[in-house]
Every structure is written in C-alpha cells, then in structure tokens.
Amino acid sequence: MYQLEESKYLYLLLIIPIVVLFFVFNLYWKNKKQKEFGDLDLVKKLIPEYSSFKAILKFLIVILGLSAIIIAIANPRLGTKMETIKRDGIDIVFALDVSKSMLAEDIAPNRLEKSKQIINQIINNLQGDRIGLIAYAGSAYPILPMTSDYSIGKMYLQNANTNMLSSQGTALNQAINQAINFFDDDQQSKLLILISDGEDHGDDANEALEIAKEKGIKIVTISVGSTKGGQIPIKENGKVVGYKKDSNGETVITKMNPETLKLIAETTKGKYLDGNNTKSVVDNLQTVLGSIEKNESETQQVAEFKSQYQWFLGLGFLLLFIDLLLFERKTAWFQRLNLFKENRDE
C-alpha cells in the first residue's frame, strides 16, 4: 500500500504543463525567426550539426527529472506488511460542520479552520483509539471510515471544505444518524465528537439522540464562533468580494448557538465544550476520554511504512545529469542511421 506523506507538494506538478507550453512556444518562435532569416533548407545547411530531435529529447529528460524530484518531495511511502495489532481504546467519530456559516470569521482564522485545528490537536493526543470522519451541512457525508491510521485521518480532514455538500443548512440529526451507522464494533465504547456553530436548520434531532443513547454512544459537542456573530464572506481567488445576503438583500449575520449543542450533550450524558480555546477543549476532552471504559480488541492494518523518496530523488538527479551530458548537435552514429532519408549530397 502506497501513501504520500506530503501530498500537498504534488501541486508543484502544475508547473510542468506551463513549462511545456513555454517550450512549444519557443520552438514556434525559433522556427518563425528562421523563416524570416532566409530559406529554411539553407538555414539548416548553415547549422548542419544542430539536431531538433536532441533538443526535444533534452527537454523531455529535464521534465521527467523535475517530475521525479517533485514526487520525491511528496515522500511516497510503501507499507511493507500487514500486522494484527492489539489495541486498548475506543471508537471516536468526528462530525464536522461544513455549512457556509462556518466560513464566518468571528473566530480566527474562521470557524471551519478553527474546527480543523481542534480535531488535529485531539488526534495528536490519541493512542490506541480508532477514528472516523463525517462532514455535514443540510445532509451528512462520510469522509473517512473507522481507522487507526491517524495520518490518513489528518489528510482527509485537511481536504474538508464548504463545497463538499450542495445542500446547505446545519442538520445535526443527519450528522448523528450518519455517526450511528459509522460505528462497526458493538463491543467497543463509542464517542461522537460533534463540532458546529450550533445553527440547526434540520429536523428535530430527538429521535436520533434516542437511538444514540440506546447504542451507548456518548456525544461531546464543541461550539465554534461567537454569540455576537459574524458575516459570511464570499471570496474569489482568496479575496473577499462581498458578504452573503438573505432573500431581502440584507447581509446575513450568523450567530453561534450553544443551547442546542448543550442539550445534545446532556441527553447522551456527554459534555459540551466551548471551542474558542483549543487548549481548554483538548484538556477537557482528555478527562472525558479517561472516564470512558476502554476495551482491548484486534485490528489488521498496514505497518512499517517505509519512505521511497530516495528512488525518485536519485532518478531525478540522474536524468538532470544525463541532460548536462547531452548536446544539441547530431552524433555520428545517429547521422549514419539517416532515419529521415536525407540526401546528404544536396
């Protein structure tokens, strides 16, 4: 099994098509200038040693070399074997609110990014627990099934955004129902960590909460945002171009509603936490986790991931070195092949 430890660096591969376009344009420009200089056949006779094939070959070698180095920076890792691992922990599902109201910047940098920071810090303090991830707005969407691989969990978390779900709103009942179906081990203690600004626009969550109680699922709710509220920015290319308005043309002010979140936590004998202070949330959650009974279980997972970047890095530098040794002139053996059936006596 392969995984990329720093997949964000693959965006550097977007440079490659830009370089290719520049190279093609440069070939077009040189050909045009040669035609302006004089008869093309005459120009070729003036520079008989120049090989357009070698020029293109050199360029392809450079492109492949740069691509290999970029992949090396992303650090591909190979899982060498499967192991049965005994763990002593609980199953935790994170339900992340990705509705548009989470873009409000009444808490820095905004509600959604603050939520991601909180989940990241919680994961950093886990050991032996399995995690799952759900995104929800007007509906709920499973992002990551239960896993013991925290690095994959963080990767999927980082990609969560407000465009994942077309249906908007904040349907807490949908998130709870989705989480109930997520837990796949009846013997394990279960915890749902629900992060939201509390603006519930969905159906009543009482029925979902009753099912959660029956299945022994505790719910910790974490609020993000302020009761004073904030505007929902509309951005293009990273710049604010306006703010969301309602049907009357008035600017929408979204306010954090802790009461709904407190009620959900109390119903399942969980806990409500104010997410504006990340350290306080993490510390309080550690206390909650310590109070939950942990069961020993076995799980199979890929172990001993080994970095493979050195192969790509070596290939990249080798190709760049080969490029340095190649010249844009014809070699004697290649000329003798006369692949293009040129008449050398002309």
Per-residue pLDDT of the chain (346 residues; tens, 9 = 90+): 666 778 888 888 999 999 899 988 888 887 777 666 656 565 555 555 556 677 788 889 999 999 999 999 988 887 666 565 666 788 999 999 999 999 999 998 999 999 999 999 999 999 888 899 999 988 888 999 888 888 889 999 999 998 887 776 667 888 898 989 888 777 788 999 999 988 765 556 788 889 998 888 999 999 999 989 999 998 887 788 888 888 888 898 988 888 889 988 998 889 999 998 889 999 999 898 888 877 665 555 555 667 888 898 999 999 989 888 876 655 554 455 554 454 544 4
CB contact at 8 A, 274 and 258: yes
DSSP string, 68-104: HHHHHHT-EEEEEEEEEEEEEE-EEEEEEE-SGGGG-
Instruction: Give me the domains of the chain, ranges plus CATH numbers.
Output: 2-77+307-337 (no CATH), 91-229+257-293 (3.40.50.410)
pLDDT at 140: 87
> How far apart are the two ends of the chain, measured CA to CA in Å?
59
Q: Which residue has the tokens 């790509």?
A: 312
The 3-state DSSP class for residue 135 equals strand
Q: State if pTM tops 0.85.
A: no
Here the tokens at position 306 are 């080994």
Give CA–CA dist 306/308, Å, rounded: 6
Question: What is the number of H-type helices and E-type strands within the chain?
Answer: 11, 13
Question: What single-letter DSSP state applies at residue 250?
Answer: P
Give CA–CA dist 169/183, Å, rounded: 25
